[in-house]
């Protein structure tokens, strides 16, 4: 059988987990009946891999729209390009944001953050132990409150806008992505560094805490600490044309300096 459609009555998670485990690798696609976007989201996230698809029996047209929006929000891979560091400069104190997630991030993963949405730096998760601090692989020390962060929906938010329960995007050096949930946002006053990079004569910048635990993802999937950044060092960015209006991409001439 190529497809199996399942109706769960009453709707429970444990039977769904058992079905996903049973059909995984069998060659049969498991489709689960759902009534709304909340059930659809759970079907696709259960056991991490989720079911192969859904069979929607909505109660209203609004539920169809909500499920469509959910499907469109699933993270897509992003295109990353290499850039060369042109400047690293100490700044004063500022309010920086640590994004603590409900997931254990992997070595080589991080989040896309920057002063401008047109150039977002891949900031590495705190997966690496130092002599003074244990690894905190659920955390990305992302940058100051004004910085943009890239989301699974393809939109951006200011770091200061993140709240517990929000979805953010984890990205690795190959541009592969996954959605992770924010568990906590820590804002503390810390010394900052301005980091500038260049791609094809265009300059991009971000600001980060001046601390050994802050690292950038490199082209080979490794990481480079801010204390080791030098002019000519290569790090990964996501770049785009145009600007953003309330986090949504827009074709407009915007200069951010």
Picking from 196, 164, 197, the residue whose alpha carbon sits closest to that of residue 181 is: 164
> Left (φ > 0), alpha (ψ -120 to 50) or beta: where does 159 sit?
alpha
The structural architecture, per CATH, of the domain 81-247 is Beta Complex (2.170)
Helix (H, G, I), strand (E, B) or coil at 217: strand
> Left (φ > 0), alpha (ψ -120 to 50) or beta: where does 61 sit?
alpha
Helix (H, G, I), strand (E, B) or coil at 65: helix
Provide φ and ψ at 45, rounded to 5°. -105, -15
User: Domain coordinates of the chain in residue numbers?
Assistant: 3-73, 81-247
What pLDDT is stored for residue 244 in this prediction?
A: 46
The pTM of this model reads 0.77
Helix (H, G, I), strand (E, B) or coil at 225: strand
pLDDT (tens digit per residue) in 115-138? 999 999 999 999 998 877 889 999
Spans in the chain with pLDDT lower than 70: 242-257
Largest CA distance in the chain: 64
DSSP annotation of 178 reads: E
């Amino acid at each position: 059988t190529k497809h199996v459609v399942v109706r769960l009555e009453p709707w429970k998670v444990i039977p769904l987990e058992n079905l996903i485990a049973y059909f995984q690798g069998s060659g049969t696609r498991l489709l689960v009946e759902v009534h709304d976007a909340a059930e659809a989201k759970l079907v696709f996230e259960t056991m991490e891999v989720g079911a192969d698809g859904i069979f929607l029996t909505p109660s209203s047209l609004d539920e169809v729209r909500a499920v469509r929006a959910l499907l469109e929000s699933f993270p897509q891979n992003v295109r990353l390009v290499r850039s060369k560091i042109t400047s690293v400069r100490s700044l004063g104190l500022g309010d920086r944001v640590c994004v603590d997630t409900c997931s254990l991030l992997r070595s080589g993963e991080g989040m896309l953050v920057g002063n401008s949405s047109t150039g977002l730096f891949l900031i590495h998760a705190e997966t690496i132990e130092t002599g003074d601090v244990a690894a905190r692989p659920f955390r990305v020390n992302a940058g100051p409150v004004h910085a943009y962060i890239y989301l699974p929906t393809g939109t951006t938010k200011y770091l200061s806008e993140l709240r517990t329960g929000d979805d953010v995007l984890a990205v690795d050096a190959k541009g592969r992505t996954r959605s992770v949930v924010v568990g906590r946002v820590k804002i503390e006053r810390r010394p900052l560094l301005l980091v500038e990079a260049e791609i094809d004569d265009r300059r991009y910048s971000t600001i980060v805490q001046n601390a050994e635990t802050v690292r950038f993802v490199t082209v080979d999937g490794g990481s480079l600490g801010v204390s080791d950044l030098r002019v000519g060092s290569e790090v990964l960015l996501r770049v785009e044309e145009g600007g953003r209006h309330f986090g949504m991409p827009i074709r407009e001439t915007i200069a951010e300096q």
